[in-house]
Structure 1
Amino acid sequence: MAVEPLPEPLRPAGSGPAWRLRYLSTSWNGHPTVASGTITLPAGTPPAGGWQLVSFGPGFNGTPDRCAASQAGTPPFIRPLSEALLRAGYAVAVTDYEGIGTPGESSVVHGPAEAYAMVDIVRAARRLAPVSRRWAAAGYSLGGHAALWTGSLADGYAPSLRHVGTIAIAPTTQWGLQFAAAGNPAAPVNPAVPYQGRTLPVTHPGGFRAADWFTPAGLDLVDLAGHVCIEQMAAALTGLTMADVFTDPSAAMGEFTALFDPHEVPVRRYPRPVRLAHGTADQLPAVLTEITAGQLAAAGTDVIYTPVSGADHFTVAAAIAPQVVQWLEELFRRP
């Protein structure tokens, strides 16, 4: 494990000691890998037994190393949530995910690898700081997807830790429904799509070639995805449609659906409670999270879904922060 102090500009307001680190995790292929991230403690003296910890999955910011949360910092719209967690007395660990901030191409979206990175940073935190065995998984957007996979796998992957529950804010779920809507040739291009042209060949070697699906202009964007973060990608996509990027958008989205299907959020009875929130004005439709909540409830999971009235994808984290703190208090009180 390699550790250095987290630079002051990247620290949330009111934080205590904070570090940027590299730690050992498990790759999408089951082999050992190195991930990076940050660990931030509250200010003050730790309680007996150590700080209770929240492993937080950040939203997707791009796959180049400079886009990693440990390099780029917490986005302004997430900072109110991070600061609320620290004020409430929780240590916060934030993974960058495999291949973002470390050598190699990223594997996201890959549910198990995302979960492994979120769990293993908890182990790293316990080696570095006075942190309790009791911890919760939380995440936003892609991190919500990662947190839900973590809630499904945590007990089996890290039985020596005590996972208490999962909170997912505006999670990316129901990939099949998302891709079906994106198959319209006139639809705008989601800024994450060019990055998928880079990550799918990693997790499906020999099974996916970007050149089979992307137009020449689309391949230029796949190349650009190796150099820029999501904000710059969104600017590059202004005015482009799926027909500009894919030779056959409907067929391409059918292929994406098949490849992403194994990484849909596991629908089963989760061993710990799940709490979901989604803004009603989010461009990523809240109905997707409603569907996921219904599926998990039908499978026997203790799940609560909270719609956040008027919030969009960039305001929901701050709006739901007080509720997240309340949920955490309830989860950590459970035996």
Structure 2
Amino acid sequence: MRGRRVVAIIAVSVIAAVAAIAAVELIRIAGDAAEQPALADFYEQPAGAADGEPGTLVRSESLEGVPAASEAWRIMYRSTDLHGEPIVVTGIVVTPLGPAPAGGRTVLAWGHPTTGTDASCAPSRGFDPFIGIEGLRLMLDRGYTVVATDYAGMGTDGPDSYLVAQTAARSVLDAVRAAQHLDGAAAGDRVVLWGHSQGGQAVLVAAEQAPDYAPELTIAGVAAAAPAADLTALMGSHLDDISGVTIGSYAFPAFASVYGPTVPGADLDDILTPAAIAASSEMNRLCLLENLDRLHEIGTPLIGDFFAHDPTTTEPWATLLAENSAGQRAIDAPVFIAQGADDELVLPADTATFVGHVRELGDDVDYDVVPLATHSTIAYLALPALDGWLDSLD
């Protein structure tokens, strides 16, 4: 009888704990929902928004429905594009509750994977702006302030930056600076960069560029899961499949808009077929995960009829792909790269070749290949190894 009573007490305790967790989650969801009606107003840039130093804040607002034991803000901040022109970018900042250490908290700068290129695809505009930050709970529990950029051209008006390495890298670094200007974030100068896929490219290039672009920041380490690091290899591996069509529909209009005005031969009709150009406008309006079926419906008939020429061997596209790849210079900080063994988008062989290349440059790389992990699961399945690697930085 005593044993049954103990079991009953345990069962009641478990039910109570589950109910408490569910209640907290419902409160958080209600907070997210409450923000939606006035959401668009935040992303309208005021007059002169870009005027000011990179990394300074244009505006910020507190977020509701935040993760447990944290506070968070939506931010609009200043940055620059690859040409050095002033731009405005948005994102979010999340920090744990409680006193910060002397000198401020380590800042974890997150680079998100592909969500699309339309302004509406910005993660900070989502119903739950925290859900896509892979490892957020881990980082908050480590005492980090987390900043997550939307990248330029998403969230608010700005140049398209999809796989445009320097613009994306500057969005990442200036998001850290913006967090330092935010009262309550307690953001220090010590920075860890962490990104997945598109975000892997952004954070790797940010680490390469930081000594010149943001020398006041101390890059303690950079971690990337299945990074889109070598664009030549990435596009070359998917010239004749749906991934190549989908990625290409985002990337080549972005490159044409950025490089077309100044680089001869970098117009869209120099690299895509008329059918691809006709479809790319609609594809660019569609956010990836919410519209994957529709993107595949549009893109599947274009397989084999998307590229007018092979961009990996046709100039100026071959050079642009190479110049926007990571691995241009050594990174003066430890590097962690995770790769899923079953990834069919960023192929394991391509990542292994990239790791060999940057090791030759002098990078100190911890390379972790995770069995059974796919492109969509690698960032989560790499978290235990990433946690251990972060311990080694402290």
Which of 337, 340, 346 matches 1:279?
A: 340
TM-score between both structures, scaled by the size of structure 2? 0.77
Question: SS of the counterpart of 1:178?
Answer: helix
How far off its partner does 1:250 sit?
3.1
Contact 1:179 1:257 in 2 (8 A): no
Structure 1 letter corresponding to 2:60: V
4+ long deviations beyond 4 Å: 73-76
- Mark the runs of 5 or more structure 1 residues left unpaired by the alignment: none
Contact 2:341 2:370 in 1 (8 A): yes
Deviations 1:283-304 (A, max 9, x none): 1212222111111111111111
How far off its partner does 1:92 sit?
0.7
Counterpart in the other structure of 1:217: 275
How far off its partner does 1:152 sit?
0.8
Contact 1:55 1:121 in 2 (8 A): yes
Question: SS of the counterpart of 1:24?
Answer: strand
Matched, 1:160 2:216: yes
Counterpart in the other structure of 2:376: 314
Matches within 5 A, 1:153-192: 153-184=209-240, 189-192=244-247
For 1:195 and 1:65, the matched residues in 2 are separated by 13
Contact 1:64 1:225 in 2 (8 A): no
For 1:269 and 1:197, the matched residues in 2 are separated by 27
Deviations 1:221-264 (A, max 9, x none): 21113421113255332433432333x35368735433211111
Q: 1:187 to 1:99 in 2, by over 3 A?
A: closer
For 2:363 and 2:103, the matched residues in 1 are separated by 29
Structure 2 letter corresponding to 1:250: D
Counterpart in the other structure of 2:103: 49
- Of structures 1 and 2, the larger Rg is shown by 2
Deviations 1:166-220 (A, max 9, x none): 1111101222222223334x66644221112321122212342223333343223
Which of 316, 321, 327 matches 1:260?
A: 321
How far off its partner does 1:51 sit?
1.7
Contact 2:180 2:187 in 1 (8 A): yes
Structure 1 letter corresponding to 2:310: S
Counterpart in the other structure of 2:305: 244
TM-score between both structures, scaled by the size of structure 1? 0.89
Counterpart in the other structure of 2:206: 150
Contact 1:52 1:91 in 2 (8 A): yes
Counterpart in the other structure of 2:168: 114
Matched, 1:5 2:87: no
Structure 1 letter corresponding to 2:72: A
Deviations 1:138-164 (A, max 9, x none): 111010001110111112211222111
Matched, 1:204 2:259: yes
Question: SS of the counterpart of 2:333?
Answer: coil
For 1:154 and 1:189, the matched residues in 2 are separated by 31
Q: 1:233 to 1:213 in 2, by over 3 A?
A: farther
Structure 1 letter corresponding to 2:208: S
For 2:314 and 2:303, the matched residues in 1 are separated by 13
Question: SS of the counterpart of 2:301?
Answer: coil
Query: Greater RCO between the two (CA within 8 Å, min separation 6)?
Result: 1
Q: 1:234 to 1:172 in 2, by over 3 A?
A: farther
**Count of residue pairs brought into register by the alignment:** 326
Q: 1:56 to 1:251 in 2, by over 3 A?
A: closer
Matched, 1:67 2:121: yes
Question: SS of the counterpart of 2:304?
Answer: helix
Contact 1:57 1:139 in 2 (8 A): yes
How far off its partner does 1:100 sit?
1.1
Matched, 1:28 2:82: yes
How far off its partner does 1:108 sit?
2.3
Question: SS of the counterpart of 1:41?
Answer: strand
How far off its partner does 1:58 sit?
0.6
Deviations 1:4-62 (A, max 9, x none): 12342xx4x32511011111111121111111111000233323322211011111111
Q: 1:234 to 1:299 in 2, by over 3 A?
A: farther
Q: 1:80 to 1:259 in 2, by over 3 A?
A: closer
The farther-off stretch of 35-44 and 140-149 is 35-44
Q: 1:249 to 1:113 in 2, by over 3 A?
A: same
How far off its partner does 1:312 sit?
0.4
Identity, % of aligned positions: 28
Counterpart in the other structure of 2:49: none
Matches within 5 A, 1:285-300: 285-300=347-362
